[in-house]
Each structure stands twice: as C-alpha cells, then as structure tokens.
Amino acid sequence: MSRIPLPPLGANHLGDYLREQRQSARLSLRQLSELAGVSNPYLSQIERGLKKPSAEILQQLAKGLQVSAESLYVRAGILDERHGDASATPEPLDTRAVIGADPQLTDRQKAALLDIYDSFVGAENAPTRTRSTTRQSPRKPASRTAPKTTKAPRNKGE
C-alpha cells in the first residue's frame, strides 16, 4: 500500500513562502532557526507543511527573515487579506469618501485635502462635486497682526 502525502496546512502554503523567503535571504534552515529562536526540526516541519505555527512563532520567523509579520499571518490563515485574494484585482479605495467621512476634520480641512488630492490625481479624474457641500463660504481672512492702538500722550509731570 503506497502512502499518500499530506497536503500542506493552510491554503496559502505558508511553508513554501517561508522557504522562498529564507532562500532569497540566503539563509540555511539552521541559520534561520538561530535567528528566530525556533528549533531547526520544528522549522523544517513548518516548511514541509507538517506543523502550523502559532502567531508568536510566526512573529519570530518574520523578525529573522526581516519580513512583515502580517504577511506571514495572512499566509498562515490567521489574518484575512485586506482586499480579497491576491489573484483578484483589488478594489480601489474611495479616497474622497474616506476624507469626507473623517470626523476629526472640519469642512474646511476636508475641502483643502480634496483640492490637494485632486491636484495629484488630476482634475479629469475627479468626480464633480458641489462647492457648497465641501467648502465654506468665502470670507475675508483674519488679520494676523494685532490692531494698532494709539498711545495716550505722556504727561510731562510723570
């Protein structure tokens, strides 16, 4: 009876990714195990898909490989990718909506940020927006200097 090999744990093939990262960093299993503080046999089992490491072990491996721990968490299935799977085209963020929804910004700050954003992406890409909803009515800028005061004439007796 022939043995059927077990498929790697996790749909993202964490072990393959770790091996690729380790090899691109020109590290042996032993070197990475020393850098990350993970035993050599355990690291080998992770790479072969026989063991599923904890978040703490992944963090140690990320530090040893000098990659983001988040990328390892996604590969291990601990975190979901932010914009769906890597094969799908990610949906662009609606920057204008994000700026408009930020409760920490005043209407004037939102309008200024939108103007700056439009200058970067180009006005032809900017959706039409009404000025009344994003801008405050124009007003005369406040003077930055204190108003001049007249001095009372000094008494000669003082």
Condensed to tens digits (0 to 9), the pLDDT of residues 89-103 reads: 555 667 888 888 777
Residue 79 has pLDDT above 70, yes or no: yes
Domains of the chain: 14-76 (1.10.260.40), 95-134 (no CATH)
Asked whether the beta carbons of 29 and 40 are under 8 A apart, the reply is yes
Per-residue model confidence as pLDDT tens digits over 108-152: 998 999 999 889 887 665 555 544 444 444 444 455 555 555 555
Say what the pTM is.
0.46
Q: Which is it for the CA torsion 124, 129, 130, 135, positive or negative?
A: negative
Tens of pLDDT along 34-56?
A: 999 999 999 999 999 999 999 89
Residue 77 above 80 pLDDT? yes
